[in-house]
Amino acid sequence: MPKRLRLTRRFPAAMTNDGYRRLQRFAQEAGLSQDEALTFIFENFSSVFREDNLSARLSLFKAELVERKA
């Protein structure tokens, strides 16, 4: 029997405009709400993202983070 989707946790999250637009587009293309799309991504994190690309992208993001905050 499939596990029932219960959205029990809520947290305030700030996103860039680009990140939010990408989330909206992904959710719409997948036929999901934004909450369901985020839940899918994080529950399936290891199979959705290639780990070798993730570490490289994360390093670039961290390097740009200081400039983005300014």
Total domains in the fold of the chain? 1
Tell me how crowded residue 36 is: count the other CB atoms within 10 A of its CB.
Answer: 14
Contacts of 24 (CB under 8 A, 6+ apart): 34
Dihedral, CA atoms, 60, 10, 50, 61, nearest 10 degrees? 0
In a domain, 5, yes or no: no
In a domain, 64, yes or no: yes
Query: In the predicted model, what is the mean pLDDT of residues 10-24?
Result: 92
In a domain, 55, yes or no: yes
In a domain, 22, yes or no: no
In a domain, 7, yes or no: no
pLDDT over threshold 90, residue 68: no
**Which domain, by its residues, includes 55?**
31-69
Q: Label residue 54 by pLDDT band (50, 70, 90).
A: confident
In a domain, 3, yes or no: no
Q: Label residue 8 by pLDDT band (50, 70, 90).
A: confident
